[in-house]
Structures are given as C-alpha cells and as structure tokens.
Amino acid sequence: MSPNNVSTESRIKTLNGLFPRLVLIKRMDNPYEYSNTTKWFITGIVVLTAATVLMSASIFYSAIPDASDDLRVSPSAINVSVAAGFSELSGRRSVLLTTFALNIPFIAACALSPNIAFLIAFRLLAGSASASGQTVGAGVVADIWKPEERVFAMSMFYLGPLVAPLFLPLVGGALTQSWGWRSVMWFMAAQGALVFGLVSVALPETLRDVDDHGQPRESSAKFEMKQLLRPIKALRILQNPAVAITVFIASIAFGSCYILNISMQAAFSNPPYKYSPTVVGLLYLPNSVGCVLVSVFGGKYVDRIMIMGARRAERRREDGSLIFVPEDRLGVNAWVSLALYPASLACYGWLVESGVVTPAPIFATFTFGVGVMMIFSVTTTMAAEFVPNNSSVGVAVNNLLRNIFSSGGTAVTQPLLSLLGHGWLFTLLGLLAFVTGELGVVMVKKYADKWRQKAKGHVK
C-alpha cells in the first residue's frame, strides 16, 4: 500500500469521529444523499444539543429564590452562576461527544454544591461544555442540507433554543416547589445524558473528506482544534463596521431577553405579586410565544422585504435576476421592531414598578418577544451574509458577542434593580436599544456597500 493510500485511509478513519462503530446511521461520503427523514432526525438531535445551554439558564430562573435561601447568598450571587453558563465552542461529532460527556458530571456537581463558589465554578464548566451544540449544530445542518433546502432547516434549528424557554421556567418552578432547586440540576444532568446517548448512537460524522473546493480536508482533530479557537481569531471580521453594528444590535436584543427574565423572577416572586415558583414559570410563556410566532411566520415576510429592497435599488444581473445584499433585509420590519421592543421594555418596567395587575406587564413581555425576535432573526442572518465566504465565522462571532452581553446582563441585573428599580432600568435599557438600533440601521443601509468593498481581503 502506498504512503498516499495510507494517509488517505487514516484521514477518512479520523473523519469518522469518536466511536464510529456505535452509530446506527451509516456515514455517507456525501451527506446530501441522506433521505429527508434521516436529515430531519439528525437535525432534531443537533437542535437538542444547541438548546441545552439555554435550557440550563431558563429552567433555573424559578429556582433562584430557593437556591439563594439554601446557599445563604443574595439572588444577585445566584445570577452570577447563571451568567457562568454562557460560552462558545465548535466542532462536530468528536467535540459533541467529548463536551457532553463532561457536561453530565459538571451538572451533577452543581446539584451537590455546598456553597455559591462551588456552584458558580461548575456552572461555568457545564456551560462551556454544553455550549458546543450551538456552533456545532449549525455546522451539521449545513453539512447535510443542500443550499436550496438549508434556509428552512436552519430556521427550524434556531427555533429549538427558542422553544426551550417556552416551558422550562414552568418545569423548573414545579421541580423547585416539589423537591427544591437541586432537583433542577439533576433534571439537566439527565437531559445531558439523553443528548450524549443520542449523539453516541444516532449522529454520524457529517464533516466531508473534502472541502468545498474538492481538496482533501485536514484531519478532524486539527480541524476541530482550529474551530475551538475560531471565535477568538474571528473577531477580526468586526473590522467591517457593517458586521460590528449588526452584531451589536443582535447582542443588545439578546442581552435584553436575559435582563428581562431575571427581572420577572425578582418582580413576581416578591410583593405585591409574590407568586409561587410554578406560577412565575407560567408567566414566561407569553414572551416565548411571541418569539416563536415571529420565528415560524416571519421568515417569508422578511424574504419579501429583501426582494422589494433589491427591486427598489434596481440591482440586477445581465439575465435580469435580482442581486441581493444583506442590508436589503432591513425594511419596515427593522424600524417597527426597534421601536416595539424598547417601548415594551419601558412599559413592562413601569407596570411592575407600580404593581399593576399581572396581565398588563405580561402583555408587554409578549410584545417584547414579537419585537425582539423580528430584529434578532434578521441581524443573526445578516451577520453570516456579510462574510459570505466565511459564514460560519459570522455565526461564531455573533454567538460569542451575544453570550458576552447576555452573561454580563444576567450578572448585573439584580444590583441595577436595587439601584434603579424596574422602571428606570428598563427605560434606560429601552432607550439604549432604540437609539443604537435605529442609528445602526440608518448607517448600515447608507454605508454597507462602501464598507463591504473596503473589507474585502480582511477575511480569508
């Protein structure tokens, strides 16, 4: 056997990922050849992996008062442990197996925490492990779906992390009320074990032996190590102001969600509302319903806005087909959403500050969910489209920055509530989101083409 054949055989074996003999689904040289049923099954698995890190945060909201009493610390200290659950990793089967194998004992250690320092440390480790599912999952979806099929599949992939917060605060509240906050951690450990089992036996390696240009791909070990470092190296794409502004708008929107979630727990667990953990969990539903409705039904509307934008600009190829650019997605949808969700934040803040009957502030959280998802879905897509040859880099940077904003917001919400109260905190947050968002849209629509030309060559 020639050295070249040995090298090729070794490379193909490496690309099978860890423990390939356990997988019940045969690995395909061309993942596009999987049946649609198999593709959706694989997509469902990576949706579950991607949702895990957000599940770990959202399920714990209703347990914060019980945990703070048990560990004898303030709720703000518990919020730091929630913030510790955000991190970014990347890879494929090998990375998923490795990180979720670590996630299980880390979460179990959280359940056994004797003090707040122990809880924060292991929440950080557990979050770092489970966060691999977000970027890895997007890569798997891109591996198995053809470009013309990928948009809908990717929208379903991102819907998963939105559905999780729909019911998990309720689950967390019920578990806490019945068995205490530690039962929430044991529930997440069981969920991590389920994900690990599914990945072990049902997720084949989807990374191809050749890259998009038909060249042999490097070993998966080297590839995955580069992926692990990518979020830091990829920050250079922020040299393009269009990318930086888009990611900033998305990060403010994402961070606002977590500040609102912490506020809801603080407001509705204490007088004048003073609801049980189960009822507090129920109050998170309208917000998530608003997000899901926009995610399911808003995609086609945004596509129409993009088409109208290209037509107005009269950008066409020689054959008459339209030429699209990312900023075409910013139409009336952007103006409305960047007014709706900041206004909803301010309304919510003053309504709970005044102790107004529950349906009023909860309706404000619903309109917030609608508004924030309208802009978040658009900016997340644009972050990848502004770097078309390195779209995964755009995804990685967007994930990294939004999780920095959400973890920081989660950590400082309780102290800011003590200092400013709900009303002024959400008025200032809404004002920040409105001014920076609307100004950012104006700048991107006006200067994006100029920045795009200047940025050519920055990302190879």
Amino acid 254 reads: F
* pLDDT score for 57: 66
Indicate whether 183 and 257 sit together in one domain. Answer: no
* pLDDT score for 86: 39
Indicate whether 126 and 238 sit together in one domain. Answer: no
Q: Which of 156, 183, 210 is the last residue of a domain?
A: 210
- From residue 103, how far is each of 116, 169, 222, 290 by CA, in Å? 19, 21, 23, 31
**Helices and strands of the chain, counted as H and E runs:** 17, 0
DSSP state of 59: T
Residue 5 lies in a domain: no
What is the extent of the structural domain holding 357? Answer: 221-454
Residue 166 lies in a domain: yes
Q: Supply angle C-alpha 79, 81, 82, rounded to 5.
A: 65
Residue 12 lies in a domain: no
Distance CA 264, CA 283 (A): 8
278, 268 Cβ separation under 8 angstroms: no
Indicate whether 148 and 91 sit together in one domain. Answer: yes
* pLDDT score for 7: 44
Average pLDDT per run of 10 along the chain, which is 460 residues long? 45 57 77 87 86 70 58 45 37 76 89 80 76 73 69 68 69 83 88 91 75 49 50 71 92 90 89 87 86 76 77 79 82 93 98 95 96 84 72 70 77 89 97 97 91 64
Residue 4 lies in a domain: no
Instruction: Enumerate residues 6+ apart whose C-beta is below 8 A from 258.
Output: 57, 406, 407, 409, 410, 413
Indicate whether 197 and 338 sit together in one domain. Answer: no
Residue 180 lies in a domain: yes
Query: Strand (E) positions, 95-197?
Result: none
Indicate whether 206 and 235 sit together in one domain. Answer: no
* pLDDT score for 417: 93
Spell out the SS3 assignment of 299-323. Answer: HHHHHHHHHHHHHHHCCECCCCCEC
Indicate whether 413 and 297 sit together in one domain. Answer: yes
For residue 195, what is the domain's CATH number? Answer: 1.20.1250.20
Residue 460 lies in a domain: no
* pLDDT score for 391: 59
Q: Is 351 exposed, middle or buried (0-12, 13-18, 19+ CB in 10 A)?
A: buried
Indicate whether 126 and 188 sit together in one domain. Answer: yes
Number of structural domains, the chain? 2
Indicate whether 291 and 433 sit together in one domain. Answer: yes
Indicate whether 194 and 167 sit together in one domain. Answer: yes
DSSP state of 37: H
Instruction: Return the SS3 of 210.
Output: strand
Q: H/E element holding 217? A: none
Task: Phi first, then psi: give them for residue 297, nearest 5 degrees.
Answer: -105, -10
Indicate whether 308 and 402 sit together in one domain. Answer: yes
Residue 7 lies in a domain: no
Q: Which of 144, 175, 210 is the last residue of a domain?
A: 210
* pLDDT score for 234: 64
* pLDDT score for 253: 92
Residue 140 lies in a domain: yes
* pLDDT score for 424: 98
Q: Which of 153, 176, 210 is the last residue of a domain?
A: 210
Residue whose structure tokens are 């990848």: 384
Structure tokens at 208: 């191809």
Indicate whether 133 and 41 sit together in one domain. Answer: yes
Indicate whether 206 and 241 sit together in one domain. Answer: no
* pLDDT score for 1: 46
Q: What is the pTM of this model?
A: 0.71
Distance CA 308, CA 303 (A): 9
Distance CA 85, CA 247 (A): 21
